[in-house]
Amino acid sequence: DQQVKQNSPSLSVQEGRISILNCDYTNSMFDYFLWYKKYPAEGPTFLISISSIKDKNEDGRFTVFLNKSAKHLSLHIVPSQPGDSAVYFCAASASHQGAQKLVFGQGTRLTINP
């Protein structure tokens, strides 16, 4: 039972364009959502997060959108840069249940083409 799903294993985008990464979840108890970026042989790097009381959070080129009714979140990167090429993981937690253990999606490999 995969509670967090990233249905696109890969995505290719031209440099300068917008990258949109999608994530769906099934557990309605999740109330905190995060996006991580991972390069090979390195640990995941925190990018941006959003609490369920919001529907949008923006940080520079990165914006996360949350649609609670659809149990869907997305990460927008604009403009995309070659250094954005990495694997992106979305993660969720049900913080009110005590431990903020994260449930991760399978990841989406983003490739930015020059």
Partner 1 sequence: GAGVSQSPSNKVTEKGKDVELRCDPISGHTALYWYRQSLGQGLEFLIYFQGNSAPDKSGLPSDRFSAERTGGSVSTLTIQRTQQEDSAVYLCASSLDWDRGNQPQHFGDGTRLSIL
Which residues contribute to the site for partner 1 (CB under 8 A)? 4, 32, 34, 36, 41-46, 49, 51, 89, 91, 93, 95, 98-107
Q: What's the closest the beta carbon of residue 42 comes to partner 1, in angstroms?
A: 5
In 3-state terms, what secondary structure has residue 43? coil
Task: Output 60 or 114, the one with its CB closest to partner 1.
Answer: 60
Q: What's the closest the beta carbon of residue 84 comes to partner 1, in angstroms?
A: 19
Q: What's the closest the beta carbon of residue 69 comes to partner 1, in angstroms?
A: 21
Task: Output 5 or 76, the one with its CB closest to partner 1.
Answer: 5
Kindly tell me the burial class for residue 88, based on how many C-beta atoms sit within 10 Å of its own C-beta (0-12, 13-18, 19 or more).
buried
Q: What's the rounded Cα separation, in Å, for the pair 24 and 92?
A: 10
Task: Output 71 or 107, the one with its CB closest to partner 1.
Answer: 107
* 92 and 101 Cβ atoms separated by less than 8 Å: no
CA torsion, ordered 109, 84, 73, 13, to nearest 10 deg: -70
